[in-house]
C-alpha cells in the first residue's frame, strides 16, 4: 500500500502566521477565514491573513487592554474588537471615513458578552450570557443601531457563516440548542431542538460540550453535527456522529448517524461535502430505520498524509531539509468546514481530499462512481477509472461496466434536461421572471459523450491487443446506456462501432446493427454511408445498405444520384431524380457522360432524347445551350445515329 493511499492531505501552501506566544495572540475568524496575529494588544502591530489573499493586512492599534476577540466585517470594511465583557470597539476601514474608534455597550443589564459575529458588512450580532443583540453599524455616524434582541440564557454559541445561522446552547445540560437565522437586517428564530445525550448515571452531570458540536453545509443543506463518544445503545461500541438536519423552515430532524467504529478523540471536518475524520458521504446509500439513516465509513480509516513543513519565505534561504509536521498534534484547532490551525506552529491549512488514492480503496465500482460523481474535481478521475476498468489487467465485467455507464449518463441526462428546460423558459420569455432564471451549472460530474469518446473509448478501441468481442460489447453497452437515458447518440460513436466491425470483417454484424437502426441515421452518417459504399467490394450488400440509409435521410438525394451514376445505373438515377421532381435542375452533361461510359448506345440514345425533350419543354427548343457543355455528346450522337435523328425544333 505504501504512502499512496492517503486520501486526506493538508493543502500545499498553508497560510503562515506568527506563532502564538505570550506577546502574540492569535485569533481566527471563521466568517472571513482570517487569522489575526495581534502583537502586544495591537500596539506593535496586527497582521491579518486570509486563505485567498496573499497580501496580508497590517495595521496598528492602541493597546487598550487584552483583546478577547477581533474580527473584520465582510469585505474587511469595519474592524470589531472586544476587550471587555461589556463592550465591543469598532474602527472603520472604509476610505474617507473617520478611523477613530467607537464603542458599543451591550444593552442587557448585567450581561456578559460571550462573543460577536458579523452577518454582513455592516451588521453584527452580540451574543451575551443572557441573549443576543442584533445591531446595524453606521460607520459614517460612528454609532450602532439596535435592530432586534432576544433574551435567553446562553451557555455557549456557535456560528455558521455560510448559512448565517447562530446556534445557542441553553438549559443546564446545555443540550437544548436554539438556532437563529440572519438575513438582510432581519433575525428569525428557528425551532429549538434537543440533542439526546448518552444515558449516564444521575450522579455524574453530563452536559453537552461545545467541542462535540459542529455546524456545516453538506450538499447545500445545513447540518448540526454531534460527535457522540459512546453510542446510546450500550451494545455497540465506538463513537458516532449524529447529523441533525436544520432546515430554513420546519423543525430540526435527526437524519443520519455516522458510525465511526472506534473510540478516542476525533477531529471533524467537512471537505467537498464529505464528513471527514473517517470519510463519510451521506449521499451514499446506508441502512435506514425509517427516520435515520445509518452510515458506515466509505473508506477505511487513514490518517492525513504525512506533511512536511515547507521551508518557505525569503528568509529561509538556508538549505534546511523540510521538517516533518506532527499530525493531529494537541495544538491543532479544528474549524469548520475544512480548516486546521496549529497556533503553536503558526500554520493554517485547508484539509483536502485526494480522489486518486480513493479509487483503489473502493473496490465496488458502482459505489465508487456514486462517490466520485458528488465530488468537485472529479472528471479526470472518473475518466481514468473508466479507462482502467477496460484495461486487460484490471478489466471489469460487463454488468459493472454497464452500471458505471448508467451512473455517468444519469448525471449527464439530468444536466441536459435542466439545460433544455432553461432554454425553453428563456425562449418563452420568462427571463424577466422573479426569481431570475439561473442557467444550470455544468459541474465536473457531467461527463458527456465527447469526454468518454476522447479519453476512454477512442484509446480503448485503438488498443490492438483487446479482443474485438469485448471492444464491441463495451461500445454497444455505452450506446445502450445512452439510449436508455434517451440521450441522442453522437455520430462519432457510431463510426467507432462501424470502424471496429469493419476492421475485423464482421460485416454481417454491422449489417444487423444497421437493420435494427442501432446505428441511427443522422446527417453525419452520410459519411458512414459513403464508408459503406467503399466496402462494397468486400461485402456486396453494403451498396444497398448505404442507399437505404441515404433514402431515409431524405436530404441526401444528390448523393443517391451520384452513387447510382457511379454504378452506371443511369436510368435508375434519372427515374429517381424525376420521382422526387428534381429533373429540371440536373446537369445533362453528367448523365450523358455516365450513359456514354456504359457503351450502351441505346441507353445513350434514351438519355439524350430525354434531355432534348427537357430542353424543348423548358426553352421551346431541343438544342443544348453552350452553357451545358454538351457539344461533345451532340457530336457523338450525330456520329452514331446520324444528323437526322436529332430532334427538330417545333416551329409554328
Partner 1 sequence: EENKILFYHPNEVEKNEKIRNVGLCEAIVQFTRTFSPSKPAKSLHTQKNRQFFNEPEENFWMVMVVRNPIIEKQSKDGKPVVEYQEEELLDKVYSSVLQQCYSMYKLFNGTFLKAMEDGGVKLLKERLEKFFHRYLQTLHLQSCDLLDIFGGISFFPLDKMTYLKIQSFINRMEESLSVVKYTAFLYNDQLIWSGLEQDDMRILYKYLTTSLFPRHIEPELAGRDSPIRAEMPGNLQHYGRFLTGPLNLNDPEAKCRFPKIFVNTDDTYEELHLIVYKAMSAAVCFMIDASTQLTLDFCRRLDSIVGPQLTVLASDICEQFNINKRISGSEKEPQFKFIYFNHMNLAEKSTIHMRKTPSVSLTSVHPDLMKILGDINSDFTRPSSNQFFQIQRVVEEVKKLCATQFNNIFFLD
| Contacting residues toward partner 1, per CB under 8 A | 397-399, 402, 469-470, 472-473, 476-477, 479-480, 483-484, 508-509, 511-512, 515-518, 520, 540-541, 544-545, 547-548, 550-552, 560, 569, 572, 575, 579
Q: How far is the CB of 236 from partner 1 (least distance, A)?
A: 32
Shortest Å, Cβ 597 to partner 1 = 19
| Nearest distance in Å: CB 413, partner 1 | 14
Nearer to partner 1, 536 or 628 (CB): 536
Q: Which residue has the cell 486520501?
A: 7
Q: Which is nearer to partner 1, 506 or 634 (CB)?
A: 506
Question: Could you please report the per-residue DSSP string of 185-240?
Answer: TEEEEPPPEEPPPPP--TTS-----GGGEEEEEETTEEEEEEEESS-SSTT--S-E
Q: What is the nearest approach in angstroms of partner 1 to the Cβ of residue 612?
A: 22
User: What is the distance between the alpha carbons of residues 215 and 195, in angstroms, rounded to a whole number?
Assistant: 13
Stated as kind and residue range, the H or E segment containing 138 is strand 131-138
Q: How far is the CB of 449 from partner 1 (least distance, A)?
A: 16
d(CA 125, CA 133): 6
| Secondary structure class of 341 (helix, strand, coil) | strand
Q: How far is the CB of 511 from partner 1 (least distance, A)?
A: 6
* Grid cell digits, residue 288: 435506514
Nearer Cβ to partner 1, position 16 or 484?
A: 484
Residue recorded with cell 465583557: 85
What minimum distance in Å lies between the beta carbon of 550 and partner 1? 7
CA distance 29 to 377: 27
When the beta carbons of 59 and 508 are compared against partner 1, the nearer one is 508
Nearest to 305 by CA among 281, 324, 319: 324
Q: Which is nearer to partner 1, 520 or 621 (CB)?
A: 520
**430/512 with CB nearer partner 1:** 512
Which residue's CB is nearer to partner 1, number 93 or number 470?
470
Give whichever of 164 and 401 is closer to partner 1, judged by the CB atom: 401
489/495 Cα distance (integer angstroms): 11
Q: Residue 48: helix, strand or coil by DSSP?
A: strand
3-class DSSP state of 167: strand
184-191: long-range contacts (C-beta < 8 A, 24 or more apart)? Answer: 184/120, 185/123, 185/136, 185/147, 186/148, 187/125, 187/132, 187/134, 187/147, 187/148, 187/150, 189/150, 190/165, 190/246, 190/248, 190/252, 191/250, 191/251, 191/252
**Closest Cα to residue 367, out of 432, 462, 458, 298?**
298
Minimal distance, residue 510 CB to partner 1, in Å: 11
Amino acid at each position: 500500500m505504501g504512502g499512496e493511499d492517503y486520501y486526506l492531505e493538508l493543502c500545499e501552501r498553508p497560510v503562515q502566521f506568527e506563532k502564538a506566544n505570550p506577546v502574540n495572540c492569535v485569533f481566527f475568524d471563521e466568517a472571513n477565514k482570517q487569522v489575526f496575529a495581534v502583537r502586544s494588544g495591537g500596539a506593535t502591530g496586527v497582521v491579518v491573513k486570509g486563505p485567498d489573499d496573499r497580501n496580508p493586512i497590517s495595521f496598528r492599534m492602541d493597546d487598550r487592554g487584552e483583546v478577547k476577540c477581533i474580527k473584520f466585517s465582510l469585505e474587511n470594511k469595519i474592524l470589531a474588537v472586544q476587550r471587555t465583557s461589556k463592550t465591543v470597539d469598532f474602527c472603520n476601514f472604509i476610505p474617507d471615513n473617520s478611523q477613530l474608534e467607537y464603542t458599543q455597550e451591550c444593552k442587557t443589564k448585567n450581561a456578559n458578552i460571550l462573543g460577536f459575529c458579523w452577518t454582513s458588512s455592516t451588521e453584527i450580532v452580540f451574543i451575551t450570557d443572557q441573549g443576543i443583540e442584533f445591531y446595524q453599524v453606521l460607520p459614517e455616524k460612528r454609532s450602532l443601531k439596535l435592530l432586534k434582541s432576544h433574551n435567553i440564557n446562553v451557555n455557549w454559541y456557535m456560528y455558521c457563516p455560510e448559512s448565517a445561522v447562530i446556534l445557542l446552547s441553553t438549559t443546564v445540560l446545555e443540550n437544548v440548542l436554539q438556532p437563529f437565522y440572519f438575513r438582510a437586517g432581519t433575525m428569525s428564530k428557528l425551532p429549538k431542538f434537543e440533542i439526546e445525550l448518552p444515558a449516564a448515571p444521575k450522579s455524574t452531570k453530563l452536559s453537552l460540550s461545545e467541542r462535540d458540536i459542529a455546524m456545516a453545509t453538506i450538499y447545500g443543506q445545513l447540518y448540526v453535527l454531534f460527535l457522540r463518544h459512546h453510542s446510546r445503545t450500550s451494545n455497540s461500541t465506538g463513537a458516532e456522529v449524529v447529523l441533525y438536519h436544520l432546515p430554513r423552515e420546519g423543525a430540526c430532524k435527526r437524519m443520519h448517524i455516522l458510525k465511526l467504529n472506534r473510540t478516542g478523540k476525533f477531529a471533524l471536518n467537512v471537505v467537498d461535502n464529505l464528513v471527514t475524520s473517517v470519510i463519510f458521504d451521506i449521499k451514499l446509500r446506508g441502512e435506514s430505520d425509517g427516520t435515520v439513516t445509518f452510515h458506515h465509513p466509505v473508506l477505511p480509516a487513514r490518517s492525513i498524509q504525512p506533511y512536511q513543513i515547507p521551508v518557505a519565505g525569503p528568509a529561509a534561504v538556508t538549505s534546511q531539509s523540510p521538517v516533518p509536521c506532527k499530525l493531529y498534534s494537541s495544538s491543532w484547532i479544528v474549524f469548520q468546514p475544512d480548516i486546521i490551525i496549529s497556533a503553536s506552529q503558526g500554520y493554517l491549512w485547508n484539509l483536502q481530499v485526494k480522489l486518486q488514492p480513493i479509487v483503489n480503496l473502493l473496490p465496488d465500482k458502482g459505489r465508487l462512481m456514486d462517490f466520485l460523481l458528488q465530488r468537485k474535481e472529479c472528471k479526470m478521475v472518473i475518466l481514468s477509472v473508466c479507462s482502467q476498468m477496460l484495461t486487460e489487467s484490471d478489466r471489469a465485467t460487463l454488468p459493472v461496466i454497464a452500471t458505471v455507464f448508467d451512473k455517468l449518463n444519469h448525471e449527464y441526462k439530468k444536466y441536459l434536461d435542466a439545460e433544455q428546460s432553461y432554454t425553453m423558459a428563456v425562449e418563452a420569455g420568462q427571463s424577466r421572471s422573479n426569481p431570475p432564471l439561473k442557467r444550470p451549472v455544468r459541474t465536473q460530474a457531467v461527463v458527456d459523450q465527447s469526454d468518454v469518446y476522447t479519453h476512454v473509448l477512442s484509446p480503448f478501441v485503438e488498443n490492438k491487443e483487446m479482443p474485438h468481442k469485448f471492444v464491441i460489447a463495451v461500445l454497444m453497452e455505452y450506446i445502450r446506456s445512452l439510449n436508455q437515458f434517451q440521450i441522442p447518440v453522437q455520430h462519432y460513436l457510431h463510426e467507432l462501432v462501424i470502424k471496429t466491425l469493419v476492421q475485423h470483417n464482421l460485416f454481417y454484424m454491422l449489417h444487423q446493427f444497421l437493420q435494427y437502426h442501432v446505428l441511427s441515421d443522422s446527417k453525419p452518417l452520410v459519411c458512414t454511408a459513403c464508408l459503406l459504399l467503399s466496402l462494397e467490394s468486400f461485402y456486396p450488400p453494403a451498396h444497398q445498405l448505404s442507399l437505404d440509409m441515404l433514402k431515409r435521410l431524405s436530404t441526401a438525394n444528390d448523393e443517391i444520384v451520384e452513387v447510382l451514376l457511379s454504378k452506371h445505373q443511369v436510368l435508375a438515377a434519372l427515374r429517381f431524380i424525376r420521382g422526387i421532381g428534381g429533373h429540371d435542375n440536373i446537369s445533362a452533361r453528367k448523365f450523358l457522360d455516365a450513359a456514354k461510359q456504359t457503351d450502351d448506345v441505346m441507353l445513350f440514345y434514351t438519355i439524350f432524347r430525354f434531355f432534348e425533350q427537357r430542353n424543348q419543354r423548358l426553352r421551346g427548343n431541343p438544342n443544348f445551350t453552350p452553357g451545358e457543355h454538351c457539344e461533345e455528346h451532340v457530336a457523338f450522337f450525330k456520329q452514331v445515329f446520324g444528323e437526322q435523328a436529332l430532334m427538330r425544333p417545333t416551329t409554328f
